[in-house]
Each structure stands twice: as C-alpha cells, then as structure tokens.
Amino acid sequence: MDSIVFERDVPPREVIEASLVDSVLAPFWLDSAPPPSYPTLESDVAADLLIVGGGYTGLWSAVRAKERNPEKSVVLIEMNGIGWAASGRNGGFCDASLTHGRENGLTRWPEEFDELERLGNKNLDEIEQTVSRYGMDVEFERTGTLSVATEPHQIEWVSGEPVALNEAEVRKQINSPTYLAGAWEKDTTALVHPAKLVSELARVATELGVLIYEQTPAEKVRRDLRVVTPRATVTAKQIILATNAYPGLLKRNALMTVPVYDYVLTTEPLSAKQMKSIGWSARQGVSDLSNQFHYYRLTADNRILFGGYDAVYHFGGRVSPDYEDRRESFELLASHFFTTFPQLAGVRFSHRWSGPIDSSSRFCAFFGTARKNRIAYALGFTGLGVGASRFAADVMLDHLDGSDTERTRLEMVRSRPTPFPPEPLASVGINLVRWSMDRADHNKGKRNLFLRTLDAMGMGFDS
C-alpha cells in the first residue's frame, strides 16, 4: 500500500498542538452570528401546515409554502433553536448537485441525470434570486468549487474535464504543495454563511406569516394529525417532517439513515501577508478527490474553514454532545491543514466543532409520504443539503398538494434507498466501509471486493 501525502509530509507535532490550544468548542458560524430566538409553544394551535424541524429543510419549506399559497397558515416547531444542528455547523457550500456529485448521479439515474442536473442548476439560480429578492444578508458568493488532485493517480480523474487545470495552473489559484492538478467548476457552487442563512430564512418566513416556535419538540403524531409537544398540541391538516439526523416520528425511516459525525476547524483571520502566501484571490471552495476527502473555504474575514476526512459512526446510531469534542479527529485535521499549507505554520484555530450528518445509502436525499399523503418527509442529504434542501421543500409541497410535476416524476424522487442493517451489523458494515475507503485511497483509488459489492447493491459509498 502506498502512503498518501498527508502521511508523507507530516508537520511537526508542536505545530499541531500549538494550533489548537486556544480553540473554542463551538461552531464558528453560530458563535459569530447567532440566530434570533423565537418563543416556545405554550398553548394549543391549529395550522393548515405544520413543519417539524427548524433547519434549512424546514425553513425552506415554510418560505416556499407561503410563496406558493400566501393564504395557507403555517406553523414551524423546533426542538432546540433554529439552525442549531447541521444547518449551523456545515461548511456553507451551497451546491447545485441534487445527487451528491456527477458520478453518483450518473451511476444511479443515468437516463434522467441531465434532467437532475438541469433542476439542480435551476434550484441554485432560484436560491440566488431569493437572496436578492428579499435582501438576505447571507454572505452569498457564487465562486464555484476547485476540485484538487493530491495523489498522482487522481490527475487523470480531472485531466479530461473542460475546466481542468495542470499543476502550475491550480497552484496559481491556490498555492499548496499538495496540489498536482485540479478542475474549477465556476458556477455550480455558492458559498454562504450558514447561520446567517438560517436567520434570514426565518426572517423571511415570519414576514410572510409563518409562526415559529423553539424549544418545542414533537413527541408524537396522532392518527388525526394532532402533534403532541410538551406544553401544547398542534392540530394540522398537513405535516412536513424535516428532522435530519435526529429521530423522526415515522418508524418506517428508522433504518434509512445513519448519523455520521463530521469534524471542522476554523482558523483565526489571516493577515494580508498570510493571504498573499496562499493566493486564493478567487475565493472558491475547495475539495480534494480522495474517498476520505477534505473540504475548505475562506470566510468573509479571511479565516480558513477546514473540515472532512475523519467521518465517525458511533454504535447504535447514537447522537450525543459527548461525541463532539474528539481530540484525535481535530489533531488529524490540523495535521492535514499544515500539510496543505505549510507556509501558515503558526496559525491558530479559533473554533473546533462537529455534528452528525444524516447519511443515506445512496448518498443523497430521499422523499416520501405517509398517512394518505398528509405527511411528507425528506431525509438523507448526506452532507450536501444546503442547496438541495430547497429542492426537497418543493418536492414535499408537491406531494402534499397531490401535484404531478417535473420533480415528482423523477425516479430519484420516487425511489427509496436500501436501508441500513440493524446493529450490530450496521456498526460492523459502516466501519468496514471506512476501512475499505481508506485502503482505496492508499491503493491508487482501486476499490476492494467489499466496496464493489456495495456498489452493485446500490449502496456505493463513493465519496
């Protein structure tokens, strides 16, 4: 097995340890721009539409419901505070892809991939238009994504792309000794401030007439669509479930997703001299091409957010704050950061955090209805929900309206992924996948028999 660049060029231990000394265990986004607070539901209420979940999927559903039908009464309840989970902890990559990338989409839905790509680009355009129309302060930058090869075998993966860059060209964009080649898709990704997007979606929703309640968990949904919360009951005609990686209200989805913890670091703001040393004047997002990949980007004040690689699943699919401060994951990320940018040795990380990703076996969202089409849900975004959550909102509203649309006719929308096995098989299988993906990265990208078998079963963990 070959070593990878992050093993060949390891920074000094003291550089790694010093970089983390003063870091705060908190998402930079929520720390720098905490969303406003909303009241707790204290008395019974009725609504045409109840939305359970105050992240992007729920908030986009609220906004789109009122845009489509201003007369519809809409209530949104959130068990904690809006945006406190994945919507406030992600990297802020608002991608056009609805299928977690081109390869995943072409493999699963080859006959309709062109349509999926068109709808994804249209969805991103409409997000940009919404931001402009409502004057949303979300630090929206449509700068695209630079995909970089950091190992020799990855060069051919980008060399045939119309937007391919050789080593000199890619290092002219961003100066990292790890870059061997790259491809820059300039229009298919926007960067946003995740917490500001939460706040602004909530602002727009309330201005359109949506009632938002926080600290209001949904404990049970009755057959007549009354939803029980700790202090009150919501009587709804229709319900949207937007609970992401957290337990939902439908047993049928219990094995459809697993929570996988992702870890992230953010540096202190870089000086003008430090910025000059790395270039990055186009401010595009970056992702490398390994199975266990890193993603990174600049913030508005020139911090570098650096995350990914070390995805961790805990036995039983448990979600707990106890899993968020994993020293070995943060040290690994810091090590890889300074391998990527050795000229930034001495930079400190201001924030470190993590959170669960709702991973599905097909690596992108799935959709469905229950209770005679009076409940709609979307789950399984697998880390690419910033943009796809708006598309999911329209799919769910189409389902509740009983509408036959270009979205609902998609096989991608009509099909469900393969469920994960129960424990202990889930833990064994997921950790074997992680090991196999790591081996592939150390073996010129060649997937072993286990991964190829999963590919054939429709459980192809390709990223």
Model confidence at 340, pLDDT cuts 50, 70, 90, reads very high
Residue 268: name the closest of 243, 305, 297, 293 by CA.
Answer: 305
Q: And the tokens for 2?
A: 């070959």
Return mean pLDDT, the chain. 95
Residue 90: inside a domain, yes or no? yes
Domain end residue (candidates: 336, 357, 378): 357
pTM of the model: 0.96
Check pLDDT > 90 for residue 290: yes
Residue 457: inside a domain, yes or no? no
Check pLDDT > 80 for residue 462: no
Are 101 and 173 members of one domain? no
Q: Hunting for tokens 């299988």 — which residue is that?
A: 429
Predicted local distance difference test score (pLDDT) of residue 417: 95
Task: Kindly tell me the sign of the dihedral angle through the C-alpha atoms of 303, 60, 321, 307.
Answer: negative
CB hemisphere CA count around 206 (13 angstroms) = 15
Residue 246: phi, psi to the nearest 5?
Answer: -95, 155
Q: Hunting for tokens 């839905």 — which residue is that?
A: 109
Residue 342: name the closest of 177, 173, 182, 180 by CA.
Answer: 177
CB 3 within 8 A of CB 442: yes
Helix 327-340, helix 13-20: angle, nearest 10? 120
Provide mean pLDDT across the span 283-296.
96
Question: Could you write out the three-class secondary structure of 392-455?
Answer: HHHHHHHHHHCCCCCCCCCHHHHCCCCCCCCCCHHHHHHHHHHHHHHHHHCCCCCCCHHHHHHH
**For position 134, which CATH number holds?**
3.50.50.60
Check pLDDT > 50 for residue 463: no
pLDDT in tens, 346-399: 999 999 999 999 999 999 999 999 999 999 999 999 999 999 999 999 999 999
Are 93 and 200 members of one domain? yes
DSSP per-residue string spanning 352-392: EEEEEEEE-TTSS-EEEEETTTTEEEEE--TT-HHHHHHHH
Are 151 and 273 members of one domain? yes
Are 115 and 214 members of one domain? yes
CB 56 within 8 A of CB 87: yes
Are 52 and 17 members of one domain? no
pLDDT in tens, 222-231: 999 999 999 9
Are 276 and 173 members of one domain? yes
Beta carbons within 8 Å of 150's beta carbon, 6+ residues apart:
4, 5, 178, 179, 180, 288, 289, 290
CA distances for 407 relative to 89, 120, 438, angstroms: 28, 11, 36
Residue 273: inside a domain, yes or no? yes
Are 193 and 340 members of one domain? no
Pick the range with the lowest mean pLDDT from 16-25, 175-184, 309-318. 309-318
> How far is 240 from 249, CA to CA, in rounded Å?
11
Check pLDDT > 60 for residue 460: no
Are 224 and 154 members of one domain? no
Q: Determine the structural domain holding residue 155 and report its residue range.
A: 1-32+145-185+259-313+320-357
Residue 84: inside a domain, yes or no? yes
Residue 167: phi, psi to the nearest 5?
Answer: -60, -45
Are 74 and 123 members of one domain? yes
Q: Exposed (0-12), middle (13-18) or buried (19+): which is 286, by Cβ within 10 Å?
A: buried
Beta carbons within 8 Å of 137's beta carbon, 6+ residues apart:
196, 200
> How far is 40 from 120, CA to CA, in rounded Å?
35
Provide mean pLDDT across the span 308-323.
93
Are 66 and 197 members of one domain? yes
pLDDT in tens, 66-112: 999 999 999 999 999 999 999 999 999 999 999 999 999 999 999 99
**For position 10, which CATH number holds?**
3.30.9.10
Residue 242: inside a domain, yes or no? yes
Residue 244: name the closest of 358, 348, 394, 146 by CA.
Answer: 358
Are 97 and 230 members of one domain? yes
> How far is 123 from 41, CA to CA, in rounded Å?
33
- Provide the number of structural domains found in the chain: 2
State the CB neighbour count (10 A cutoff) for residue 428. Answer: 12
The beta strands (E) that lie in 188-333 are given as: 189-191, 211-213, 220-221, 226-228, 233-241, 258-267, 285-288, 294-298, 304-308, 312-313
CB 285 within 8 A of CB 189: yes
Residue 452: inside a domain, yes or no? no
Model confidence at 461, pLDDT cuts 50, 70, 90, reads low
Check pLDDT > 80 for residue 275: yes
Residue 278: inside a domain, yes or no? yes
Are 44 and 138 members of one domain? yes
Provide mean pLDDT across the span 145-156.
96
Model confidence at 16, pLDDT cuts 50, 70, 90, reads very high
Predicted local distance difference test score (pLDDT) of residue 459: 66
Check pLDDT > 80 for residue 284: yes
Residue 300: inside a domain, yes or no? yes
